[in-house]
Structure 1
């Protein structure tokens, strides 16, 4: 019997806060990128979060590594590292608002992969419509460019957008791996620990190889690293897993659609990023498509109620 309960005021408040935190992380990575590269920031925040998580797990007497999960855990960590390496590299070229929208197209790729991998995850007609809507939106956001719009901080925006999409695909592959391997039965803390440790090692190595280890240690950089490591990568993910253990995952998931909205609004407000007309239309279509894929059952229930009245 499923002991998870329906979403309440506490859950709504927490998931809204998490969505805000996840939405602003790309903005903060971009904001201090002149003093420390996003790739190096991501490596260091993963190391901070891994250390904090290890302390919590040792205190709770949880296994950091187990014989049954270390192999898929290592692969999940590599995919996780790839995702955030693409995020860090992408932020050197594109805007934070573009990054957040393209990154959060990941559920579309998850749904497509699971459709061909797991029989019970076959897509319904409404979900296919959502996927088509999202892909049209991605195409519009990529191809409808305002040639007169100048974005000095995003000189090669198209390449940055490609990297953002590669990050989304890496995230999707990580999700599918976790669901279809022994990690599905592992604790969320152990799975996250694998990802954080491998991400720290791999992305730090990538930063060294690509010459992105120089930095200026300003107050903004230190504050951002503390926020990214403690709040974003450690705290928000632990709270997220706590919510998933206690509340309906589908109901919680609906509210995360606020994340790209928060990210775009904060990018415009804090970074003065321009919004191209094509990107606005494309982003709206992407978010609508994701909502249709992830919440198709609720949409069908609401439509039945409407037509029965």
Structure 2
């Protein structure tokens, strides 16, 4: 069943997912002193492949490759791998608070592409205004990074923007291919399996294979990334994409930067600067506007 709006169940699930994704950057940062970021990403995909495959087998999901999903599945996997290679690497240069806001420029790309391809998922002027406000917040934050003399923050910011483009490409590949009718677990397996190979190769090629002490923090971070983020949250996200409008989901996902900023401040003692506060405010208002239902006309 496909819904035209987000019902309470979908909204509650999106709040939970946004909280999990907001914590993801913090988990990566906490583990970085003990393990190279790209290696973290590769291990995450490898571990999650096993969990998702076992779950899919338990549920009796058809995992055959001759159903028209192989080609888009491989494409989605490559895009997914590129996204997370950039995301993990970017956190060497920028903070988790900033990075999560830049990553969530992806909904702009998704919304524009979906409206162009699917006129039935049109957006009203108020929704466009909401997306514009959120975009203004992101740009204000980017401007702050550019104005810092001799800093490298902007490098991480640009990497996060690149990750956002690849994330949008993954979402659109799923939405407009045979993957749209495939089981969420199968879609996720394509991405995890391909990214496990690609990210491992990237880590070796870049010499990103550093492993320090095996600390409780490292193990907890990897466990969170593998089980909660890569296995559970992405399966739920792909289920939502199949059953709810991509424009509504993408706009609502702007809540993640707010969660990410708060997590960075609480767990990493990152500064809560005025531009970050402005960006959070604009993003929050943008979510509200983009998800407002049209007023019901009064009966005569």
> Normalised by the shorter chain, which TM-score bucket?
0.7 to 0.9
Q: Please report how far the alpha carbon of residue 18 of structure 1 lies from its aligned counterpart in structure 2 after TM superposition.
A: 3.1
What residue number does 1:301 align with?
295
Give the direction of change, closer, same or farther, for the CA distance of 1:53–1:212 in structure 2 (3 Å limit): same
Q: Please report how far the alpha carbon of residue 3 of structure 1 lies from its aligned counterpart in structure 2 after TM superposition.
A: 8.2
Q: Say if 2:214 is the partner of 1:220.
A: no
CA RMSD between the two structures: 3.1
Contact 2:254 2:284 in 1 (8 A): yes
What residue number does 2:259 align with?
262
Q: Please report how far the alpha carbon of residue 29 of structure 1 lies from its aligned counterpart in structure 2 after TM superposition.
A: 0.3
Give the direction of change, closer, same or farther, for the CA distance of 1:34–1:244 in structure 2 (3 Å limit): same
Deviations 1:239-259 (A, max 9, x none): 455677788988877764442
After the TM superposition, which of the residue ranges 239-248 and 183-192 deviates more from structure 2? Answer: 239-248
What residue number does 2:279 align with?
282
Contact 2:121 2:245 in 1 (8 A): no
Correspondence 1:83-162 to 2 at 5 A:
83-145=83-145, 156-162=152-158
Q: Say if 2:8 is the partner of 1:18.
A: no
Contact 1:188 1:241 in 2 (8 A): yes
What residue number does 2:172 align with?
176
Question: TM-score under structure 1 normalisation?
Answer: 0.83
Q: Please report how far the alpha carbon of residue 206 of structure 1 lies from its aligned counterpart in structure 2 after TM superposition.
A: 0.9
Question: TM-score under structure 2 normalisation?
Answer: 0.86
Contact 1:53 1:234 in 2 (8 A): yes
Contact 2:252 2:287 in 1 (8 A): no
Q: Please report how far the alpha carbon of residue 48 of structure 1 lies from its aligned counterpart in structure 2 after TM superposition.
A: 0.6
Indicate the SS of the match to 2:29: helix
Q: Please report how far the alpha carbon of residue 222 of structure 1 lies from its aligned counterpart in structure 2 after TM superposition.
A: 1.8
Q: Please report how far the alpha carbon of residue 124 of structure 1 lies from its aligned counterpart in structure 2 after TM superposition.
A: 3.0
Indicate the SS of the match to 1:190: helix
What residue number does 1:188 align with?
184
Return the alpha-carbon distance in structure 2 between the equivalents of residues 115 and 88 of structure 1.
Answer: 30
Give the direction of change, closer, same or farther, for the CA distance of 1:245–1:77 in structure 2 (3 Å limit): closer
Give the direction of change, closer, same or farther, for the CA distance of 1:142–1:3 in structure 2 (3 Å limit): closer
Gapped runs of 5+ residues in structure 1? none
Q: Say if 2:197 is the partner of 1:198.
A: no
Correspondence 1:227-246 to 2 at 5 A:
227-240=224-237
Return the alpha-carbon distance in structure 1 between the equivalents of residues 136 and 282 of structure 2.
Answer: 7
What residue number does 1:59 align with?
58
Give the direction of change, closer, same or farther, for the CA distance of 1:99–1:178 in structure 2 (3 Å limit): same
Gapped runs of 5+ residues in structure 2? none
Q: Please report how far the alpha carbon of residue 81 of structure 1 lies from its aligned counterpart in structure 2 after TM superposition.
A: 0.8
Q: Please report how far the alpha carbon of residue 99 of structure 1 lies from its aligned counterpart in structure 2 after TM superposition.
A: 1.3
Deviations 1:65-118 (A, max 9, x none): 422100000000111111111101111110001111111221111011223333
What residue number does 2:47 align with?
48
Indicate the SS of the match to 1:144: helix
After the TM superposition, which of the residue ranges 91-100 and 129-138 deviates more from structure 2? Answer: 129-138
Give the direction of change, closer, same or farther, for the CA distance of 1:279–1:125 in structure 2 (3 Å limit): same
Q: Please report how far the alpha carbon of residue 19 of structure 1 lies from its aligned counterpart in structure 2 after TM superposition.
A: 2.8
Contact 2:146 2:154 in 1 (8 A): no
